[in-house]
């Protein structure tokens, strides 16, 4: 049975709708069947309660009792180790080590190039086309992996898919016409299925900015079983 805490014990998730790291956390919490109090943070005007909770002042941040988790992968594992009904931690092909290795590549070199591509004006030494090319190396590797099946580690989705998809989406949306014109058909199919899924739509609702004293906003709004699966 999914673990659902009482209202007084319910975990609190500080989140920001468009942040890929926060998307990761919401995806894992949603599939786990747990319920949290979601507090939508505006990054340019961070609530004092959030700053007092998050050691890094970044989203996502989950507080449960005396425990504070300030890394998106830690939050994913917290949710899935409590309840993993779709076996995201047990990929059909490969293992956890292989998944974490691929996620590390996403969070390392790919994210480095992605930031300098998307936010090139913040990096005077960045050449936008070179950064896009550097990021594309990882995407072509993903496309190659996906020729063996619809998901990165087999015929069903696993942790690596949902840890990486939000960042591929962010890259694609930086210049969608260019992205759609590239020859990575499996990658585009994988991303398109994610973007049109009930699972994605459920974690991308628009929430109001949280303020102290607001009525608790529960996430997810619907049980995991009610969401359209990919």
Query: Any idea how long the chain is?
Result: 230
The pLDDT, as a whole number, for residue 229 is: 56
In this prediction, residue 5 carries a pLDDT of: 38
Let me know if residue 3 belongs to a domain: no
120 in helix, strand or coil? helix
The predicted-structure confidence for 84-106, as pLDDT tens digits, reads as follows 999 999 999 999 999 999 999 99
127 & 164 share domain: yes
Separation between Cα atoms, residue 230 and residue 209, nearest integer Å: 29
Q: What is the mean pLDDT of residues 55-75?
A: 96
Domain for residue 41, yes or no?
Answer: yes
Torsion, Cα 185 85 3 73, to 10 degrees, reads: -40
Residues 73 and 110 in one domain: no
Q: Are 136 and 109 in the same domain?
A: yes
Q: Are both 101 and 55 inside the same structural domain?
A: no
Asked if residue 170 and residue 207 are part of one domain, the reply reads no
Whether residue 159 is found in the same domain as residue 206 = no
What's the pLDDT at 230? 54
pLDDT at 114 over 60: yes
123 domain residue, yes or no: yes
Q: What's the confidence (pLDDT) of residue 97?
A: 97
Same domain, 191 and 167: yes
Are residues 154 and 220 part of one domain?
Answer: no
Residue 6 lies in a domain: no
Cα 91 vs. chain centroid, distance in angstroms?
18
205 and 152 co-located in one domain: no
Predicted local confidence at residue 1, as pLDDT: 28
Question: Tokens 């090319």 identify what position?
Answer: 133
Q: Which of residues 188 and 43 earns the better pLDDT score? A: 188
Could you give the CA distance from residue 49 to residue 47 in angstroms, rounded to a whole number?
5
Confidence of residue 9 (pLDDT cuts 50, 70, 90): confident
- Residue 140, domain CATH: 1.20.1050.10
Residue with tokens 């015929």, as numbered in its chain = 155
* Residue 7 lies inside a defined structural domain of this protein: no
**Cα–Cα distance measured from residue 230 to residue 227, given in angstroms and rounded to the nearest whole number:** 9
Residue 217 buriedness (CB in 10 A; 0-12 / 13-18 / 19+): middle
Task: Report whether pLDDT(227) > 60.
Answer: no
Same domain, 155 and 68: no
pTM: 0.92
pLDDT by residue (tens digit) across 166-223?
A: 999 999 999 999 999 999 999 999 999 999 999 999 999 999 999 999 999 999 986 6
Task: Please indicate, yes or no, whether residues 164 and 100 belong to a single structural domain of this protein.
Answer: yes
pLDDT in tens, 116-151: 999 988 998 999 999 999 999 999 999 999 999 999
Q: Show the domain range for 215.
A: 12-85+200-226
* Whether residue 104 is found in the same domain as residue 148: yes
What is the count of structural domains for the chain? Answer: 2
1 in a structural domain: no
Question: What pLDDT does 120 receive?
Answer: 85
Indicate which CATH number applies to the domain containing 20.
3.40.30.10
Asked if the structure places residue 21 within a domain, the reply is: yes
Asked whether residue 160 is domain-assigned, the answer is yes
């Amino acid at each position: 049975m999914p673990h659902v805490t009482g209202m007084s014990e319910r975990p609190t998730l500080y989140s920001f709708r468009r942040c890929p790291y926060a998307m990761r956390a919401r995806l894992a919490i949603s599939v786990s069947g747990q319920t949290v109090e979601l507090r939508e943070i505006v990054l340019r005007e961070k609530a004092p309660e959030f700053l007092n909770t998050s050691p890094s002042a970044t989203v996502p941040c989950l507080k449960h009792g005396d425990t504070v988790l300030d890394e998106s992968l830690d939050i994913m594992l917290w949710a899935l180790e409590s309840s993993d009904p779709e076996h995201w931690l047990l990929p059909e092909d490969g293992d956890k080590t292989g998944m974490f290795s691929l996620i590390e590549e996403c969070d390392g070199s790919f994210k480095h190039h992605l930031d300098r591509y998307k936010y090139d004006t913040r990096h005077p030494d960045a050449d936008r086309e070179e950064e896009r090319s550097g990021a594309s190396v990882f995407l072509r590797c993903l496309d190659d992996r996906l020729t063996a099946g619809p998901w990165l580690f087999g015929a069903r989705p696993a942790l690596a898919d949902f840890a990486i998809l939000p960042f591929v989406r962010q890259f694609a949306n930086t210049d969608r016409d260019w992205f759609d014109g590239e020859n990575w058909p499996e990658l585009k199919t994988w991303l398109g299925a994610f973007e049109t899924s009930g699972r994605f739509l459920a974690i991308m609702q628009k929430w109001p900015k949280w303020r102290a004293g607001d009525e608790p906003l529960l996430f997810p709004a619907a049980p995991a079983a009610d969401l359209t699966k990919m």
